[in-house]
Amino acid sequence: MATADLRRDYRAGELDRSGLNPDPLAQFAGWFAQATEMSHTPPPRLAIAPNA
């Protein structure tokens, strides 16, 4: 698989104060609900450790 095949566009919209809920807990609940509804594959990760 080529590295280019792993790239995704993570731009999902804009964050604007006028679209925020004044209640931070309600805002988080909305974001969390939206995130759980999405089919999300986490980005590839790499861990580098020194050789002991």
pLDDT tens across 11-25, in order?
Answer: 667 788 998 999 999
Whole-model pTM: value is 0.51
Structure tokens at 25: 């807990």
Alpha-carbon dihedral 19, 24, 26, 30, rounded to 10 degrees = 60
CB contact at 8 A, 22 and 28: no
pLDDT tens across 1-52, in order?
Answer: 677 776 766 666 778 899 899 999 999 999 889 888 876 666 677 778 888 6
